[in-house]
């Protein structure tokens, strides 16, 4: 089972338009960069949801 950026990369490989990004993520440094960006996104996601008027579940 995959999680984090690796899970997204696997999904991207199945979507023709995003396949190049998914294939690039097979490189260790690209996946590490995507994982870092994903972690940063998770920190700001609740704020983004509040700004968009959505509810944040805990």
Give me the residue label for tokens 């983004």.
Answer: 48
Handedness of CA 58, 55, 44, 26 (dihedral sign): positive
Phi, psi dihedrals of residue 18, rounded to the nearest 5°: -100, 0
CB 25 within 8 A of CB 34: yes
Q: Kindly indicate the confidence band of residue 56, based on its pLDDT and cuts at 50, 70 and 90.
A: low
- pLDDT score of 57 more than 80: no
pLDDT in tens, 1-55: 999 999 999 999 999 999 999 999 999 999 999 999 999 999 999 999 999 886 6
Name residues whose C-beta falls within 8 Å of residue 21's C-beta, 6 or more positions apart in sequence: 9, 12
């Amino acid at each position: 089972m995959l999680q984090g950026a690796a899970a997204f990369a696997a999904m991207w490989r199945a979507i023709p338009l995003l396949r190049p990004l998914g294939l690039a993520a097979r490189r260790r440094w690209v996946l590490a960069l995507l994982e870092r960006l994903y972690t940063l996104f998770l920190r700001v996601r609740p704020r983004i949801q509040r700004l968009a008027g959505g509810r944040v579940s805990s």
